[in-house]
Amino acid sequence: MKIAKRKYKSADSRLIQSADDLMDSAERDAAELAPYEVNATYLSEVEDLRDDFSETPTDNALMGDMMTATENRNEKMIAVRAAINPIATRFRTKFGEDSGRYRGLGIELLSQQDGDELVRTGRSVVQRATQYLSEVGQGLTQTEIDALGVLTGELDVLVDVQRKAVKDRDIAVDDRIKKGNALYEKLVELAEYGKSAWLNKNEAKYNDYVITEVQKKAAQVLEGNISSGQIINLSATDVQAVTQLTGEATGNGLQIYFSTNPTDYPNGFQQAVNEGVENSFIAGAIGFDPGNRERLMLYNPGPNNATYKVVVEA
């Protein structure tokens, strides 16, 4: 799905803090803002937008659910391959590697098959092993074949669960960005009223209503925690091949890259984000490819947990 573009570029936590700061100033300046109809009802609308935004799931929580679903799928894929191999070995030794019966199992490049392909292969092996059971011999039993059928069915379910987790995460990110955009637009409006009220009257109070992003396009700032061995898909939007990204890490060095899927591990385009050092990259140089690899990824190879900050230039 196409995720909404962020109109606000700051970190989500910073947008919430900006809302709190502006509401505090507006409550203090109730008399000065009254001509702009900034009253209790108006501020209640701002508060509702802030709460609605702040209560959306965080990227860490969403990624955690998605990674759990991916891990469960991957573990079942390992089990299905392990169940296929001894059946395939019997076919190969009985009929020969170049035989139609062996090739008909469809196990070429078995280790590289994705979830959907492996489900099809598992079912094909079950069907053909059942068909030729009496000819294969070599200790192959219907019980062993049926066990592969059960594992294949379980994998089919987990493939759907993982795909749904990815979609749910994208939907939640899109929802959070839209709610953040609504809050940001309201804050810009309130800031304009506040600046107008104090223009050429009180510089300090005027500055209370200055939002950096109102004055200029700011970079997207994405920050958080990443556990050892974890991959994270960052919700960066409006990226182009020439977009500059700057990464920082503490606790452990990280790898940054663009991928097709939000659970892909480093794919050859990754570059190091060294601990304690700012590292800058051009999106195209770390794998960004419009319509193909558009997801910004971080991977923590360990051994330590880390915190990250990635700045995506406007």
**Which pLDDT score is estimated for 213?**
52
**Which pLDDT score is estimated for 215?**
40
> Which phi-psi region, left, alpha or beta, contains residue 251 (left: φ > 0; alpha: ψ -120 to 50)?
left
CATH topology for the 219-314 domain: Jelly Rolls (2.60.120)
**Which pLDDT score is estimated for 26?**
96
**Which pLDDT score is estimated for 216?**
44
Find out whether 279 and 273 touch, Cβ atoms under 8 Å. Answer: yes
Domain limits of the chain?
8-214, 219-314
Running along the chain, 314 residues long, what does each successive block of 10 average in pLDDT? 74 89 95 94 96 86 81 94 95 92 89 91 95 91 96 96 88 90 94 93 92 59 90 87 92 94 90 92 92 92 94 84
**Which pLDDT score is estimated for 25?**
95
**Which pLDDT score is estimated for 1?**
58
Global pTM value: 0.68
